Structure 1
Amino acid sequence: MDPEYFKSHEMCWGTLGTVRPFSNFHPDRDVMEIQTALEKKDAVTLVRILTNRTNAQRQVIAKTFQEITQKDLSASVKKALAGDLEILLLELLMPPLEYEAYRLQQAMVGIGTDEETLLEILCTRSGQQLQEISAAYKQLYKTDLEKELKGETSGDFTKLVLALLNKQDVAAGVQRDIESLSTSLSGKKADPGPWIDILTSRDSDHLNKVLMGLELEKGQMVDQALEKKFTGDFRLGLQVLVQCIQSPDVYLAKRLTTTKTQIMQRIMVSHSEEDLLCIRAAYLKLTGTSLYTALQKQFKGDHLQALLAICRSED
């Protein structure tokens, strides 16, 4: 553990992220060390520096590296390393908005669509963040994110993801929303409209009251009602959205229990400066094992050391 990390704790008291600003930050010095490490293919040094700086500090390092060496840092990392570690360090070097845009693009590229990754991002990001991610997506991929989502989805699921992408808080009465959702489930065929309209246009406090009220009225858990009344991608979409309204930390912790390297890594990078401490706590409660210990069982070598550095400590 880098001793500078503990000094930075005082600077960011109250942060819910695990990666904090490096207090004794000297980008020129970092660049010199990185340059030597790249020449020697010294992964240990690269991991030590890049996992102990915030994304903003990594952007300064990348800019300084370009000025001093006339080379692109990401391209240089790609030449020096390979495999999962190379991918992880390249992801750490992406600016946050570009990274979320990249994750969305990766979920839609090629054969098949990774619906749950689309939902994860759309359900855990605010309306403002999603507008900024959309702008980054257009700049990176020269196409509209909304258009891409339309092309990759269908039916009510399309309506849901587009409503999530353009979400905004609208004032409404809790009881009226409970009645609308309850009525939508009463017929032989459930009406998806109120679920899309209400769950994508209210704040989380309001929606938690609505969901609790609906459970009391129906006498069953909301996820059970959704399981019975809806099908396919739309049902998955509502289930993920409800979980994220109730507790995004628990939902993301569940996602981290997957054995897929890509999913675990991307959630950790994406949330390392925001709320990974909360996700870690939810993971421990959910599985009985700390995320730090779980990583050691699944990964090895320099890639493991990089993931542990992002996770930061045992719970």
Structure 2
Amino acid sequence: MTVSRVINDRPGVGPETRQAVNEAIRALGYTPNVAARSLVTSAELRIGVVYSNPSAAFMSDFLTGVFEEASIRGARLILLKGGEGGRPPSAADLKALVASGIRGVILAPPLGESPVVLRALAKAGLPMAAVGAYGVKDAISVRIDDRRAAYEMTQALIQLGHRHLGFIVGNPNQAASAQRMAGFQDAVRETPGATTIIAQGDFSFASGLAAAEELLDATPPPTAIFASNDDMAAAVVSVAHRRHLDVPRELTVVGFDDTPAAVTLWPPLTTVHQPVRKLAAEALGRLTAEIAKTTPDGQSGCEHVLDHEIVARQSTAALPTA
């Protein structure tokens, strides 16, 4: 009781005793579990949102989904942005977030697969929900079937007659990138005579520009390019326009995510609709349910897979026969 009074800066403890307790706290390096304390001392639901994603369009949809669900549930969001290019926040920033009294954390991709972030939050005993993550233990995972979605999109290109296909890979440190690449390759392997050219990106528009130049410089260039997200697909369209290539008559381009970027360029992108807002809202809903459990320490990881959809627009066309 005396230690509790000192930690919470309450009266009823003499100066000498208070000093001795503080010295012991410093010597032991003790940090109060603010998350656990807040369950008892506060009715406010405070949720941390940790993010660092190079796609502004994706993050716009993600944060909109989180904000809308938080409003419904009366939750207060504490945002923490990581470094550029999907890098995690610093250890000090993560420690400060934990100390702010949050009761759980939502992780935007790719941070839901960051060992640094996951270890720090697990050590603090905080429930976690990761969007778009694969193979994450002791955390809720909400995602789509990226491999199946990429397979279906590649099949659609093949059905249009395309046999020389370009593919732009996403962030190499993100499992969804490998899943999308695997789905693309699954469809290609089933198609006799199909050939591919692969370029590396990182989900950013800038990386899409470089990858598009690489693919279109090939001899012969692909007749269709599948980019692993809409930002990189938009970059492909930009490069095609600069080279005076008609999209889709001379080059078919498809993307992934169905973010606002897909419909703000010409021609609008054919893409995989990933329900980003719904994924984010689902993650927050399941996280709050986890927090409400009477025994939150018993949390175990679980995956929830939502539906995707192929959205056909004007960036695709059948391969000319002559």
Query: Normalising by structure 2, what TM-score?
Result: 0.30
Bigger share in helix: 1
Specify the structure having the higher radius of gyration (Cα).
2
Bigger share in strand: 2
